[in-house]
Amino acid sequence: MLKNCAECGNVFAEEGDLCLSCLALMQGDFQKIREFSFANPNASLQQIAAGTGASEPRIILYLRQGKLRVVSQGKVVCARCGTEVLRGPYCRSCELDIKEGRPLNKKTLPPRRN
């Protein structure tokens, strides 16, 4: 079955969320992100992105895949889009998306709150 890569949008046929080229890139990033989150256990998604140079959607992908946990000041983040939620695993809009089978669209992510 053909799918769109969650990172670059290219069509690919392998298992998982990503095409092979993004997968290779991510494995390098993942090491950095994991080391950073070990060294900074309270870092938020934004701080990890700034500290590692990885994009937030990429870090969110790790969250979705259960490879990484990001806890922001004791708050839980949505395992799908990274929005802060009171309890997990998903925020209300992602819960709706999942129920209705809608894919996660980066362009519809809520704007970042500072």
The token pair that represents 83 in the structure block? 């929005």
Q: Among residues 33, 48, 77, 78, which is the contact residue for Zn ion, using CB under 5 A? A: 78
45-52 vs 56-64: helix crossing angle, rounded to 10: 120
The token pair that represents 55 in the structure block? 């994009």
- Residue list 85-104, contact with Zn ion (CB under 5 A): 91, 94
Distance from C-alpha of 14 to C-alpha of 73, rounded to nearest angstrom: 37
DSSP 66: T
Residue 7 found at the interface with Zn ion (CB under 5 A): yes
Fill in the per-residue mask, 18 to 57: x = in contact with Zn ion (CB under 5 A), - = not in contact.
-x--x-----------------------------------
Considering the complex, what minimum distance in angstroms separates the CB of residue 81 from Zn ion? Answer: 3
Residue 80 found at the interface with Zn ion (CB under 5 A): yes
Distance from C-alpha of 102 to C-alpha of 104, rounded to nearest angstrom: 7
Q: Return residues touching Zn ion (CB under 5 A).
A: 5, 7-8, 10, 19, 22, 78, 80-81, 83, 91, 94
